[in-house]
Structure formats: structure tokens, C-alpha cells
Amino acid sequence: MHDPSQDMEQILLDPPALDRIISELAARIAQDYAERGDKTLLAIPVLKGAIFFATALLEKLTFPVEIDFVSASSYRKGAEAGALSLGALPDRNDWENVDVLIIEDIVDTGKTLSAMVEEFKRLGAASVRVVSLLDKPSRRSVTFSADYIGLEIPNAFVVGFGLDYAERYRNLPYVGILRRDIYEPSAH
């Protein structure tokens, strides 16, 4: 059987490294949201890539959190992002009492998250913050910075721990840099 680790140029974050980074993020988030009165913290993982990260992060928070989902897809060609479409937003009528925490796997151009943050502000959320496991700041095409970042990485295509290439590799327990010849078969 094909061993997916053969497709990696490098393992960037192994399971202990992921756990360490996610524990640090959870501690910062817990501290920042400690004094928020009777407002609801609504955690919103962005499907599908953020589900592994969101599960690991949220199980480390010991106070009440509600969970809902949004989906975002950009019609990708190879490893390049295309036109963005956001799925339906959670339907609720108490947004003024809701602190939204969007949970994302990676910030690349920044288009997905900046569009999403604007949507939740438009709905009237009490606050909107973003936590992302990974960030590729060199790829930004719009002005955007997440409130919490696990790790800044260089401009490489990464997979695993929720991140995919053509829907593959999401279930790997680590984050790896995918070999270029896999997503650009003509590259040497």
C-alpha cells in the first residue's frame, strides 16, 4: 500500500509539535475570553480543512463553547486558489450576544477569512476573531491578519491534519510539505 509520507518533502509538524502549538493557542484564547460576562463564545470551524485543528483546540478549552460551521471553497486548479464561494452562515437571532471565533487551518491569500470576518460583522456579532493553525504571510493578496496564529510558514504547499491536495491527505496526523512533483507533475 502507498505510504503517504513518501509524498512529503518534509514533515513540518509532527503530532507532539502540533499538540504543543495548539496547547499554547488554547491558553491564550482562554485568557482573552475569560471575562466576557454572559456572552456566548461561538466557535466556527471552516469546513473541511479546520476540523482536525478545531477538535484539538476546543477540547483544550474548559469553559462553555457553542459550535457551528461554515464552508468555504475556492475552485482550485492544482495548488492555486481560484474564485471563492462561502456557504450558508449559522442562522441565529442573538448575534449581539455572540463572540465569534472563526477557526481556520491556514491563511494563504487572506481572501477567505477577510470575506468571512466581514460577513459576521454584518450580522452584528459582538466580536469576531480568527485563529489559524498556519499562516503563509508571503502569499497575502488582501490586507488581513489573524488574531491567533500557531505557526508562520514559508510559501510551500502543505497537507495533513485537515489540509488536502485534491481531497487527499486530510487524515494524516501530521502537517507535511507536499513534494512539488505531486502537484506540478511537469516540475523537476
Residue 90: count of CB within 10 angstroms of its CB: 16
DSSP output for 101-151: EEEEEEESSSHHHHHHHHHHHHHT-SEEEEEEEEE-GGG-SS----SEEEE
Residue 182 interacts with ligand IMP (CB under 6 A): yes or no: no
Which residue type is seen at 169?
Y
Residue selected from 12, 108, 133, 148 as contacting ligand IMP according to rule CB under 6 A? 108
Q: Report the residue from 105, 125, 128, 182 that binds ligand IMP according to the rule CB under 6 A.
A: 105
* Shorter beta-carbon distance to ligand IMP: residue 49 or 150: 49
Residue 60 gets the label, from left (phi > 0), alpha (psi -120 to 50) or beta, of alpha
Q: Which of 108, 147, 164, 181 is catalytic?
A: 108
Write phi, then psi, for 8 (nearest 5 degrees). -95, 140
Nearer to ligand IMP, 27 or 76 (CB): 76
Residue number, 54 or 112, with CB nearest to ligand IMP: 112
User: Least separation, in Å, of the C-beta of 2 and ligand IMP?
Assistant: 19
Residues that bind ligand IMP in the complex, under the rule CB under 6 A: 49, 81, 104-112, 157-159, 163
